[in-house]
A and B are shown apart, each in its own frame.
Chain A
Amino acid sequence: MNRGPLPLRYVLTRVGGTLVLLFVLSVAVFALLRIAPGDPARTLLGQRGATPQALAAVRARYHLDSPFAAQYLHWLGGVLHLDLGTSIRTGAPVSATIGGRLALTGQLVGLGLAVALLLGIPGGILTALRRYRATDRAVQTAGLVALSTPAFAGGLVLIYLFSLMLRWFPAYGPGQGGGDRLHHLVLPAVTLALSVTAVLLKLTRAAVIRELAKEHVVFARARGVPERRILVDYVLRGALVPVLTGVGLVVAYLLAGTVLVEQVFALPGLGSLLVESVTYRDVPLVQAEALFIATLVVLAGLVTDLAQPLIDPRLRPARTGKGNAR
């Protein structure tokens, strides 16, 4: 019965592991408030006047007099109903604040990932096929420059070149509506993708070179399989698992990168929200953002884990010996 491409047992283990990891993450994020120096109630009150009445109200609202575990369960119950508390700074519900900024950051990360995939993977394949030649060296050098350029520096260079000198793209702001938004997001997305592209490029290049050196590639050539099919069906298929693992890791990197990029391009997304909330010690918002980003990263890992047995039959459990003579 364990014969499907995605065996149930494997899925259950991976999903179970992910849930455990999420639980640990949520405890850690919740503990942020308690670990912060000073009275949590005062922290939660922020700049507002800490009158005894206000403090008592906050304590009651957040169950601060209950034991840690009870507080956590209350908080978790809220989280599961998308009730993440209210922002200290604005008093608005945290979930609404995040929701309002989610779209922009989602578009930025999505576009950044697209740029990284579209440049990094074909670039990696190209350099692998032209390895140790001029093309390879040129692309690799460019990749090295991209990798070692911090996002704020790269962003400023791009703004200078493409906004101020060439006037192709706007220098800042989120733009209005579909086409304009896309136009505004090109430079930020490229900035965000720069280093990640270089990582994907190197990873793909190494994976493809490793595959090209495999005996089965020589054997495919030796029996006359057309070169194009060898590249697509044999080499790229073999390189898929390591590249996919890399893409999973890269998503986390992109999310972290939004913090800098949104500052540089004055984009009101999750990244700049995080910076503001940290600056104003807006603990509920910081908690919610940390939990949200961590969850996304963990889920990206789960997706790559689940995709691997689909690609590589060796990662599926063995078929039982007897039941095959049918």
Chain B
Amino acid sequence: MTTSTPTAEPGPGAGTPTASLLDVDGLRIAATAGARHSIVDGVSFAVAPGECVGVVGESGSGKSLAVRAVTGLLPDGVTVTGGTVSLGGQDVLGLGPRARGALRGRRVALLMQDPFTMLHPQLTCGRQIADGLREEEHPRRGRAARAARRAEVVRRLAEVGLPAEIADRYPHELSGGMLQRAATAAALAADPDLLIADEPTTALDSANQAAVLALLGRLRHERAMGLVLITHDLRVAFSSCDRIYVLYAGSVLEHGPAGDVQAAPQHPYTAALLASEPSVFRRKDPLPSIPGSVPPPGSRGAGCPFAVRCAHVAAECRTAPLTLAAPPAGAPGADRRRTACARIGALTALPGAAGEDTGDAGPRQAREERTAGAPHAGPRRSDAALVVEGVGRRFGTGADAGHQALSDVSLTVPAGEITALVGRSGSGKTTLARIAIGLETFDSGTVRSGPVELRAGGRPGPADRRRLAAHTQIVFQDPYASLSPLRTVGATLREALAAARRNGLAVDGDRDQAVLALLDQVGLPAHYADRRPAALSGGERQRVAVARALAARPRLLICDEAVAALDVSVQAQILGLLAELRRSQNFAVLFITHDLAVVRQIADRVAVLSRGRVVEEGTTAEVLDHPRHEETRRLLAAVPEREVAD
């Protein structure tokens, strides 16, 4: 590939860039409509050629807007109000739309999150890659030129590890992992000096996630290209970036080399984020979480925006203006780091990824003994919340090849325990969950969900459906889609309570009281009953979804990727909530996830699903510490977490 800039000198791990590829200084972004709230308040960052920079932070931190401003592709209603952006030494904010458009693709390109919506559904992948090629090098007209472009597309596909025939495929014919590769080839078609990847692996399962991260890393080295990785997944950021910027509520709170930041965070927010990340290697008991949520634009006061949620807050935090300064000299890599914490000198070492173990081993062992030393070695069938035996399910018939989603799956969810079901996307996890709650039929085998015996080939009748609803409830992945936007939280919960009563639950007392009790259970204040989902954050919505499921006092709660769409700090809150509710109400949980760290954190038992078969099953410690099946080992190897020595 031909990179046209003279600065293309690979600098892996370059800490202090001399010749910068991207320099953002004091960038401000605000909403143009309504109250003109400031969204990004003076963010500065730099990327050197060949360097990978991670930008992390919770949703609402402004990380995506701050970096997208570089491409000039801010969404409608949002505009840059200050600061400078210079790409390869050229100030781009002053350029007209046409000149900025000419920079896209060649200087900077953007790779986005969802591979299923990023490519045009009616154009072949090859066509979309070809559309981005530089026209002066790959002319469009003429028979010979067309053949040359075709050959170039095939070469680009090979570069991202895809066979030539993908050129003729339409996006809906490919899997998420393949699509993200094809999209990467399209993003790189005009050979940009800088690639911005906005949550490029969030929509993928862990195996594909690891593969796409490895691909981006390899392309960065081969092309000596700068890479900005925007992500809310700390493991992704710390495993693949040279330097990390931590954004919160529109400001950079800390930045520095990835390893140093991870080992010894110099801002309480970074430390809290790192601590709330579950680890695949050991259970954190309890999993620390950050109370509250990111303040929305317009409600940020003076001083440190994190002050309201910070455990180390002092009076000066609420007044002192936010400035980035070098951390105390003792911190690792102090000369190349900056922190916005005004009190960092006064704080004794914040727990990093390695330092959180104090007092952790005791309760962990106690818990694992509780599981291992339970009176029964294997799960007992008689009092199980869910027994699945030899279940098969095939989708598609006749002329279509058909797809065996589940074959001969047997699984027992013991009463009162949390059983995790893991597997990559397409392994049949969700199909099994839907069968267990009567939303999906199955072709063979038996399913006993508490008192209800489901039959193969048919849907449960009305009476069975009621008994099933009284016993089993489900929490879905996306709290934005699973709550009706028109109903208040109170109305949603009242409806769930009414349904529970119809299904035979004796609800004592006033219904409004019961709604308040449900809100209280999931840690939401009473006045939330009058709010609609739009006024709630993602984590709060998921709490409402949990409360709705708990209205029926189920004996089995199915969580289908219930924390996958949430930020780590919120994920920690919801995981803690589920564990606590399980303890107090003693229901069983079937926890479907692709995240083995979450499994380690919450599950007593785990079953691994691969291509519709259960390939391994056992206690969490057995399966994760001593995996026997190849698929389990593959899933573990794909986790981007580096083991930190104890």
Tell whether, in the assembled complex, residue B122 and residue A219 are in contact, meaning their CB atoms are under 8 Å apart: no
Q: Chain B, 175-212, contact with A by CB distance < 8 Å: what is the 0/1 string?
A: 00000000100110110100000000000000000000
Residue B231 is within 8 A (CB to CB) of chain A in the complex: no
Tell whether, in the assembled complex, residue A326 and residue B165 are in contact, meaning their CB atoms are under 8 Å apart: yes
Tell whether, in the assembled complex, residue B399 and residue A9 are in contact, meaning their CB atoms are under 8 Å apart: yes
Within the complex, what minimum Cβ distance (angstroms) separates A250 from chain B?
Answer: 23
Provide the residues of chain B in CB contact with A233, threshold 8 Å: 120, 123, 131
Q: Of the candidates B120, B173, B187, which one forms a contact with A223 in the assembled complex, judged by CB atoms under 8 Å apart?
A: B187
Residue A137 is within 8 A (CB to CB) of chain B in the complex: no
Q: Chain A, 48-71, contact with B by CB distance < 8 Å: what is the 0/1 string?
A: 000000000000000000000000
Q: Of the candidates A237, A318, A324, which one forms a contact with B400 in the assembled complex, judged by CB atoms under 8 Å apart?
A: A318
Tell whether, in the assembled complex, residue A215 and residue B131 are in contact, meaning their CB atoms are under 8 Å apart: no
Provide the residues of chain A in CB contact with B170, threshold 8 Å: 313-314
Residue B214 is within 8 A (CB to CB) of chain A in the complex: no
Within the complex, what minimum Cβ distance (angstroms) separates A78 from chain B?
Answer: 40
Complex Cα–Cα for A314 and B121 (A)? 7
Complex Cα–Cα for A320 and B106 (A)? 38
Q: Chain A, 226-244, contact with B by CB distance < 8 Å: what is the 0/1 string?
A: 1101000110011000000
Provide the residues of chain B in CB contact with A224, threshold 8 Å: 101-102, 104-106, 109, 132, 190
Complex Cα–Cα for A238 and B400 (A)? 27
A219 touching B104 in the complex, CB below 8 Å, given contacts A237-B120, A313-B122: no
Tell whether, in the assembled complex, residue B112 and residue A324 are in contact, meaning their CB atoms are under 8 Å apart: no
Tell whether, in the assembled complex, residue A218 and residue B122 are in contact, meaning their CB atoms are under 8 Å apart: no
Residue B367 is within 8 A (CB to CB) of chain A in the complex: no
Tell whether, in the assembled complex, residue B123 and residue A237 are in contact, meaning their CB atoms are under 8 Å apart: yes
Summed over the interface, the residue pairs from A and B with CB atoms below 8 Å come to a total of: 96
Residue B119 is within 8 A (CB to CB) of chain A in the complex: yes
Within the complex, what minimum Cβ distance (angstroms) separates B69 from chain A?
Answer: 13
Provide the residues of chain A in CB contact with B165, threshold 8 Å: 324-326
Q: Of the candidates A216, A314, A318, A319, which one forms a contact with B117 in the assembled complex, judged by CB atoms under 8 Å apart?
A: A216
Residue B36 is within 8 A (CB to CB) of chain A in the complex: no
Within the complex, what minimum Cβ distance (angstroms) separates B451 from chain A?
Answer: 40
Provide the residues of chain A in CB contact with B190, threshold 8 Å: 223-224
Q: Chain B, 98-142, contact with A by CB distance < 8 Å: what is the 0/1 string?
A: 000110111001111010011111110000100110000000000
Within the complex, what minimum Cβ distance (angstroms) separates B179 from chain A?
Answer: 11
A215 touching B122 in the complex, CB below 8 Å, given contacts A222-B104, A223-B104: no
Residue A133 is within 8 A (CB to CB) of chain B in the complex: no
Tell whether, in the assembled complex, residue A223 and residue B101 are in contact, meaning their CB atoms are under 8 Å apart: no
Within the complex, what minimum Cβ distance (angstroms) separates B88 from chain A?
Answer: 15
Residue A321 is within 8 A (CB to CB) of chain B in the complex: yes
Provide the residues of chain A in CB contact with B71, threshold 8 Å: 222
Provide the residues of chain A in CB contact with B105, threshold 8 Å: 222-225
Tell whether, in the assembled complex, residue B121 and residue A219 are in contact, meaning their CB atoms are under 8 Å apart: no
Tell whether, in the assembled complex, residue B122 and residue A312 are in contact, meaning their CB atoms are under 8 Å apart: yes
Given A219-B119, A219-B187, A227-B101, 10 more A-B residue pairs with CB atoms under 8 Å apart are: A215-B114, A223-B132, A223-B190, A224-B105, A225-B131, A234-B120, A238-B120, A314-B122, A314-B170, A318-B400
Q: Which 6 A-B pairs have the closest CB atoms?
A: A224-B105, A222-B110, A215-B117, A223-B132, A313-B170, A224-B104
Using a CB–CB cutoff of 8 Å, the interface residues on chain A facing chain B are: 2, 9, 214-216, 218-227, 229, 233-234, 237-238, 311-314, 317-322, 324-326
Could you give 6 example pairs across A and B, Cβ below 8 Å? A218-B73, A219-B187, A223-B186, A224-B106, A313-B172, A320-B400
